[in-house]
């Protein structure tokens, strides 16, 4: 299978045909779209609708734009997925839109894309015999973009080296165990990233396709250097085992708040416990990290131990929509809403 910007559709097929009879029955037709059409759809959605949609999700728009009179009336297009890599987004933003009717349909009129303006002039183009040796998708028109991206990423190598240095200093200061071979492997990874960064930014500019390949490898190397020592989520004070990389994780008031003494959150927990009528000797309330998860915890307790059929639930003027939908769907409860947040209005409504 050839590379495609719609990589979410380029899945491995294991030979299973169990869904084939179902698809034959419900699918009337299949439309194929070209790579430039998918890039145009991504660009159009971002520019005209403010929606960032990955290639696999934008294929429906690509078919719709190219379909002309074929798609008339009301058409439902599912836009699923925003997992778009920087390189794929760059390709979409650099797509040529020479089709004036298509420009009009996308609301662009005669406007050129920003990256089209950065294309090198014909005088700066390589001779035909030199271009013949380059791959067909050399993408010379995007060279300025890749140069800027590579330069920015190369500067990230210095940041990664500084992060590793601070990690080692933190371990030394606290006397935490550190395996020298593991740290040396991380150092080599950063050194290798530095070599590749210099290959991207130093000396004569390489061809666009070559620079693109180096940029992608550099991106992976820096990510690996930063993530390879981060083995667990931030909750590390229980153990002397080093499972973290960023020393800042050890000082965040949002992590292990009981250990770091977040007075505001502890006060909230105590008020919540009193509001639910729980004994201070038998139960200690711990607020969860997710607002919806916290709501579900409280709703479960209320339904089991507090509320009875016919009881009234009094809403604040605004309640987060997921919580309101979940609670208002309970048919055995009565529902009322306060006109304001003023205490006297709440009491009067109750």
Q: Please count the structural domains in the chain.
A: 4
Q: Is 80 in contact with 55 (CB distance < 8 Å)?
A: no
| pLDDT score recorded for residue 165 | 92
Burial class (CB in 10 A: 0-12, 13-18, 19+), 84: buried
Is 27 in the same domain as 114? yes
Burial class (CB in 10 A: 0-12, 13-18, 19+), 193: buried
Is 94 in the same domain as 152? no
In angstroms, the CA 22 to CA 116 distance is: 44
| pLDDT score recorded for residue 234 | 54
Residue 278 has pLDDT above 80, yes or no: no
| pLDDT score recorded for residue 236 | 45
- Which residues lie below 8 Å from residue 323, measured CB to CB, with a gap of 6+? 292, 295, 299
3-61 residue pLDDT tens: 788 888 887 776 778 888 898 999 988 888 988 889 889 988 887 788 899 999 999 99
Is 192 in the same domain as 208? yes
Residue 255 has pLDDT above 80, yes or no: no
The answer to the question of residue 135 being in a domain is no
Is 278 in the same domain as 341? no
Q: For residue 71, give the 3-state DSSP assignment.
A: coil
Is 114 in the same domain as 13? yes
The residue segments making up the domain with residue 319 are: 307-350
Q: Which of 251, 193, 195 is nearest to 226 (CA)?
A: 193
The answer to the question of residue 11 being in a domain is yes
- H/E stretch holding 39 reads helix 35-44
pTM summary value:
0.36
The answer to the question of residue 255 being in a domain is no
88-128 residue pLDDT tens: 888 887 777 777 777 766 665 544 555 544 444 444 444 44
- H/E stretch holding 90 reads helix 86-93
Residue 82 has pLDDT above 60, yes or no: yes
The answer to the question of residue 254 being in a domain is no
The answer to the question of residue 1 being in a domain is no
Between these two residues, 47 and 224, which has the higher pLDDT value?
224
């Amino acid at each position: 299978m050839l590379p495609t910007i719609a990589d979410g559709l380029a899945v491995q097929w294991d030979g299973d045909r169990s869904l084939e009879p179902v698809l034959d029955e419900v699918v009337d037709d299949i439309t194929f779209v070209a790579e430039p059409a998918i890039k145009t759809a991504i660009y159009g959605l971002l520019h005209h609708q403010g929606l960032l949609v990955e290639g696999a999700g934008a294929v429906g728009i690509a078919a719709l734009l190219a379909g002309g009179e074929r798609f008339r009336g009301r058409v439902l297009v599912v836009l699923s997925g925003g997992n778009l890599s920087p390189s794929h987004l760059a390709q979409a933003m650099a797509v040529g839109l020479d089709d004036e009717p298509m420009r009009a349909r996308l609301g662009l009129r005669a406007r050129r894309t920003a990256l089209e303006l950065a294309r090198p002039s014909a005088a700066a183009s390589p001779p035909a015999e030199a271009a013949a040796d380059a791959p067909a998708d050399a993408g010379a028109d995007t060279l300025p973009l890749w140069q800027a991206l590579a330069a920015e990423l190369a500067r990230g190598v210095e940041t990664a080296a500084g992060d590793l240095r601070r990690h080692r200093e933190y371990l030394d200061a606290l006397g935490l165990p550190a395996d020298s071979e593991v740290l040396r492997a991380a150092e080599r990874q950063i050194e290798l990233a530095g070599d590749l960064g210099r290959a991207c930014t130093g000396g004569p500019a390489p061809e666009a396709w070559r620079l693109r390949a180096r940029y992608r490898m550099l991106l992976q190397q820096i990510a690996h250097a930063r993530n390879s020592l981060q083995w667990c989520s931030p909750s590390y004070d229980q153990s002397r085992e080093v499972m973290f990389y960023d020393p800042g994780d050890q000082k965040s008031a949002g992590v292990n708040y009981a250990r770091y003494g977040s007075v505001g959150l502890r006060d909230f927990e105590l008020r919540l416990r009193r509001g639910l009528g729980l004994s201070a000797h038998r139960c200690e309330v711990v607020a969860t990290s997710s607002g919806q998860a916290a709501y579900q915890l409280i709703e479960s307790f209320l339904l089991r131990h507090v509320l009875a059929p016919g009881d009234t639930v009094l809403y604040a003027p605004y309640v987060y929509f997921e919580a309101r939908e979940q609670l208002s769907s309970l048919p055995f409860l009565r529902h009322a809403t306060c006109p304001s947040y003023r205490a006297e209005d709440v009491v009067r409504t109750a």
